[in-house]
Structure 1
């Protein structure tokens, strides 16, 4: 991630000095992002970790090009590499020394051997048929414990508590009341199920991490080395820098583009925000609003095709749908999300009378394309390969090859051998949090498959809502937001997709719509108070109130709270049962609807709004987003009425100004 952020320093925004020092940025990241608490190593220790990281990437390049190993071997080697890097890079205590101690070396070595135990004893484990030895049991226990400890170090304590609670439930099942009760399982049964089958730690989440996700993260690291960050921010400046409130719109467009190669809300907020937030503040935006714009836009990166957050790859595997179909289904909702943020930014700029940057000070789109447009080639190549029906693994490899080749076209984007090796190291580091989160999520999935609690909880959720779909959706939303306060999006999605999504399917919601629903709310937890890590990061840069920033970000990202309900009740918006004409119609009305909702959130369209006008615009916008003839007619009538009122208000205001 850091390479992309560094590359921005040479972009058009580099003339604006950040208001927060690099030291302050690093301290802020350590507060809000557990993955940023790694040791800063030097000398031999740095070289050792560097080499392991490069080998980690080389392993995945080799298996991607020449074929994956058997599932258990592919995943256990992936886990062993992740264990090695986590226990060497991340201290047991945050205030520990920046040097690796002897205990860390021993822990890392034992963790690596535990990770490789299944690979070394593959034939024995596969033919054991449940007759595991005491040594098998010992290493199974160690595997579970090392996974939880690695998660504590690199992901955070909340996910460890959740996973441990599921393990306790598996053991003490006969003590639980009602539909949660089950006969309970022995320690041996739980441990072997968790560590020696593809239903637990080595299950689907880690499988996706060890194939698709790692290679796409590596692809992102290579793109960063080409300096694509400068292309993103320059193209955004050329498109929107001159408009009302230009810097804020640049922040939104840049973050949307970054979403194609990065899925971290917090990292995007800090990387982009260190430059865009001071620009917005100097233009005249309130600190809370500036921070909220960056946080909401950066959070939306995980829903932005063609390369979305890691959870999207998990979704494709869980529901057995090609990844390109997931990306296609997410396209309209993602467009509406970012459009909603842009519209809110525009109306706020109009309300405050904020101008953009002079066109003479900005690059033109053509000049940017001429200078660095070739860096878009890898993204185009990935989209083409995916649409041709190839696997995500092949698409990522093609993207990697094209990122190197495209960079070679011009000297300023050309990668040296050192740059390529550094990209291999950076890609491996960026994969650690996802790999360990997926392994820990596997524990949760393992307990669900072992006890059958997933279907029980789905039925319980439906019963609690009295079979009412809207209530079930609301309960699911709240659960996703709460889980998102302590678990990363990948783990959040795994939990909700195994427990809450089945409840929606039971009530007749299409499988894709049900999974997209929980996926969305797992993401927006990053900007939803009281935790709102992305908003907190933005507030730290803007020196603003974190809670107010979170509330403002929630208003800006209102589309992410509305759209999931729309595609459950009207799945045409995610291309289920839609026609080409229907898509155009739905998209047109939805854009008008988001304009109405954005105006209502800010309280301004052509003039300041009263409460009644805001309600009129909001309800009218909501009607237009919901596909349907009658809702569209009602929405148009409401918005036209609201606009007429606004025109009259503006005329009165102008007359009063002239009279004065």
Structure 2
């Protein structure tokens, strides 16, 4: 797989090797690397703005106005070029200079990308009829891309991509694979053209999302961090939670969550926040491995937190084909529950070790006050949102669709917050390891950097808020405006505060310019691995579209699982962990979703599991992310161990132990989609949140062996049982009453006709598989049409006729809703007909929430048993 990092290297070295590039020449070559990074960032800002379109309209010349195609080629050219220059090819390769062979590789890689730009018009005239030059350039591009991935990300993704390329060329020679996929192999010209000359492979959806969206969010986070926003997150978290029991660990959780919301890398998140929080945790008594594990668990979970989710949120928009706001809605509740549970785990660890918090000047903030502050923060955010909507409504008759009023409001707010910030002293780092660690006061810390929240508010506003006259912006344009304002902050906040304080404005202005330039550089260097990874992941996606290779994996998992649903999900989870080892978040999601999501959908439907596509993608995404702290690769664990000076394997194992609660969530929202806020009302969503949170906290207490007091084994078992009852009350209800009313033949049509409009109807279909000829089942869900079951089927493209008491099914027409799902899966002209074996509708039965009552009674019993044994206050 990948080389295991040594703990003797610093955390910054690990970030350089894994994310930004370990080569940093001091001569003109180093200047070239930095200049290329700046050029890449400026290019991405240019294509994200409206300038290309304006130039095309005024001059008639398109300067990359079509970002769907041309900009992808430039994007990958930058990524491959910088990967070659910034990452040494081997461990022994020079780091203080760029050797000659790297210049050759860089030129070849860039040329293979720019070939598609320079000769784009000629290429467009011969789709599929590739010339010898096309094939040669494609081969060069594929080879140099794999080398760039190897040097910047290690071997895992290279091995996976090469396996799929091999299958594209030689899969047709395997009779077994040919029977499953009906794929007969591919010529060199066809395969290379598919991978490189079209937008089906390397330059597919993944690289397109990287070009238009991911880069901007990574750049936004980099400039925010360089300007001081990252440190503000950390200091606010320490000021808020540092004085509580085990405060630095809780601050680590909160700061990593805030940083992870906009970060594209769990490793960078670990180092950014861990540099401050891990030493503090050790100073109050946390062992090195546990201190590192808390940071690892916090940072990896940051990739699960909206709005960015390690850039996977934007890929889900494309793959699941739902609006971005829906992705955020579905991901929100599991992320919040997971983080609160991690805070609780940290608290339990502190209780078990008898730890205290940091010393803090001024009044201490209690747990109740912290909860009030959090609630007040949400209320304030909501009030500010409604205020801006109101102001927009009042000003709209004057300003029309102009954004000048909004810009003026933001500018005034920015200057007011800077004026307030200037009245407080700058927050200094606590570097005296001999003195008792202290937490800063909350009020000056929070208000002193509150202006850093403005670009985040702009981002969320543009993405999520909508009025009757103002549509949400696209994620790309939202990120552009947030980044644009972040650039203004980076350039101006230092000199303006200096002016308010009467200090030297010139020095601060130069420092602000340096922050901006360093942000451009850091943003581009952080994107090198993501850029080449999305290109390489496109090879996997392209192979699947060319060959149907995912069907092979699905067949293997189906055979191993034997049709058992839980075994199927566990196998997919383990494979997602393995596939995710050593991959950055973005490539991680592309790989596991391309390979594993179709397996859950197809094999699950055969055993009656029909879940929304977003739930399936979230399932594989969660387990892919957990690979970042899973030994033996677990790069985030090695980064944390480099800071804590602990054992990386023990750190990874402990971190995975903390993340068991996160591993539980995907199984839960597969069976209970309420957790993803799918088809739930606001009141029900609040109810689901509190019940799920209670269940997760009890699960955490059971796995930690400590609740009110140290738990006996049977008490932990009871807590696990209570958590299961709260998470899956439907399991027990299914044992009491059947979940569905079933009918077949003519009675099935009558049953469908009795359902109200839009109600879900489960249709069980059986027939010979198109490839294997074996009879297999599948389940689809269709909406009911009141009073007419045949129309409900016809609306989905299903034509049925009754024969000998069975409902025989004709082949759906192309373009109908269910054609892609079952139209190509069955052989409708075989001797054995395709039939609707049964129709199922939801049974009218008691509410599953009644089972919460015995669960809460059991919990009350555990509380009464443990309370006399408690030796210290709960908080």
Normalising by structure 1, we get a TM-score of 0.91
What pairs with 1:152-167 in structure 2 (closer than 5 Å)?
152-167=150-165
Distance 1:558 1:623, change over 3 A: farther
- Asked if the contact 1:626/1:632 (under 8 Å) is kept, the reply is no
What pairs with 1:7-406 in structure 2 (closer than 5 Å)?
24-29=10-15, 33-35=17-19, 37-66=21-50, 67=53, 68-69=65-66, 71-97=68-94, 98-176=96-174, 177-178=176-177, 179=180, 182-360=183-361, 361-387=438-464, 388=466, 389-406=472-489
Distance 1:532 1:623, change over 3 A: farther
> How many Å separate the matches in 2 of 1:71 and 1:25?
37
TM-superposed CA distance for 1:646, in Å, is 1.0
TM-superposed CA distance for 1:295, in Å, is 0.5
Unpaired runs of 5+ in structure 2?
Answer: 1-6, 54-64, 362-437, 467-471, 499-507, 730-847
TM-superposed CA distance for 1:549, in Å, is 2.0
Spell out, residue by residue over 1:406-438, the C-alpha distance to the aligned partner (whole angstroms, 9 max, x if none): 453553797733332332222111111000000
TM-superposed CA distance for 1:56, in Å, is 0.9
> How many Å separate the matches in 1 of 2:671 and 2:850?
15
* Structure with max Cα Rg: 2
Range that drifts further, 409-418 or 342-351 = 409-418
Range that drifts further, 433-442 or 636-645 = 636-645
Distance 1:402 1:28, change over 3 A: closer
Distance 1:638 1:534, change over 3 A: farther
Q: Equivalent residue for 1:578?
A: 680
Range that drifts further, 56-65 or 624-633 = 624-633
TM-superposed CA distance for 1:181, in Å, is 6.5
- Asked if the contact 1:485/1:526 (under 8 Å) is kept, the reply is yes
> How many Å separate the matches in 1 of 2:128 and 2:150?
30
Q: Equivalent residue for 1:639?
A: 859
Range that drifts further, 170-179 or 455-464 = 455-464
> How many Å separate the matches in 2 of 1:528 and 1:239?
30
Verify: 1:479 aligned to 2:575, yes or no.
yes
Q: Which has the higher strand share?
A: 2
> How many Å separate the matches in 1 of 2:164 and 2:191?
11
Range that drifts further, 226-235 or 241-250 = 226-235
Q: Equivalent residue for 2:802?
A: none
> How many Å separate the matches in 2 of 1:59 and 1:601?
49
> How many Å separate the matches in 1 of 2:101 and 2:181?
41
> How many Å separate the matches in 2 of 1:129 and 1:589?
56
| Larger relative contact order (Cα-Cα within 8 Å, sequence gap ≥ 6) | 1
- Asked if the contact 2:263/2:303 (under 8 Å) is kept, the reply is yes
> How many Å separate the matches in 2 of 1:27 and 1:44?
22
> How many Å separate the matches in 2 of 1:53 and 1:530?
32
> How many Å separate the matches in 2 of 1:436 and 1:504?
28
TM-superposed CA distance for 1:311, in Å, is 2.2
TM-superposed CA distance for 1:368, in Å, is 2.0
Spell out, residue by residue over 1:450-484, the C-alpha distance to the aligned partner (whole angstroms, 9 max, x if none): 00222453355345434433222111101100111
TM-superposed CA distance for 1:27, in Å, is 4.5
- Secondary structure of 2:158's aligned partner: helix
Distance 1:203 1:421, change over 3 A: same
- Asked if the contact 1:256/1:298 (under 8 Å) is kept, the reply is yes
Q: Equivalent residue for 1:556?
A: 658
Normalising by structure 2, we get a TM-score of 0.69
Spell out, residue by residue over 1:205-262, the C-alpha distance to the aligned partner (whole angstroms, 9 max, x if none): 1111111001111111111122012211121112211111111101111101101221
Unpaired runs of 5+ in structure 1?
Answer: 1-19, 655-660
Q: Equivalent residue for 2:703?
A: 601
> How many Å separate the matches in 1 of 2:600 and 2:101?
48
- Asked if the contact 2:10/2:642 (under 8 Å) is kept, the reply is no
> How many Å separate the matches in 2 of 1:272 and 1:56?
27
Verify: 1:420 aligned to 2:516, yes or no.
yes
> How many Å separate the matches in 2 of 1:438 and 1:634?
49
Q: Equivalent residue for 1:11?
A: none
> How many Å separate the matches in 2 of 1:605 and 1:571?
28
Q: Equivalent residue for 1:540?
A: 642
> How many Å separate the matches in 2 of 1:70 and 1:532?
35
Q: Equivalent residue for 2:395?
A: none
Q: Which has the higher helix share?
A: 1
| Of 491, 497, 503, the match for 1:411 | 497
- Asked if the contact 2:245/2:347 (under 8 Å) is kept, the reply is yes
> How many Å separate the matches in 1 of 2:218 and 2:483?
10
> How many Å separate the matches in 1 of 2:447 and 2:512?
22
- Secondary structure of 2:240's aligned partner: helix
- Asked if the contact 1:274/1:541 (under 8 Å) is kept, the reply is yes
> How many Å separate the matches in 2 of 1:458 and 1:325?
28
Spell out, residue by residue over 1:578-622, the C-alpha distance to the aligned partner (whole angstroms, 9 max, x if none): 111111111111121122122222211222111111122223223
- Asked if the contact 1:175/1:181 (under 8 Å) is kept, the reply is no
Verify: 1:451 aligned to 2:528, yes or no.
no
What pairs with 1:605-644 in structure 2 (closer than 5 Å)?
605-626=707-728, 628-644=848-864
Superposition RMSD in Å: 2.1
> How many Å separate the matches in 1 of 2:706 and 2:576?
32
Distance 1:632 1:558, change over 3 A: farther
TM-superposed CA distance for 1:496, in Å, is 2.3
Spell out, residue by residue over 1:515-539, the C-alpha distance to the aligned partner (whole angstroms, 9 max, x if none): 0101111001111233322223223
> How many Å separate the matches in 2 of 1:577 and 1:456?
34
- Asked if the contact 2:641/2:648 (under 8 Å) is kept, the reply is yes
- Asked if the contact 2:303/2:585 (under 8 Å) is kept, the reply is no
TM-superposed CA distance for 1:553, in Å, is 1.1
Range that drifts further, 405-414 or 316-325 = 405-414
- Secondary structure of 2:286's aligned partner: coil
TM-superposed CA distance for 1:102, in Å, is 2.5
Range that drifts further, 407-416 or 295-304 = 407-416
- Asked if the contact 2:11/2:640 (under 8 Å) is kept, the reply is no
- Asked if the contact 2:209/2:314 (under 8 Å) is kept, the reply is yes
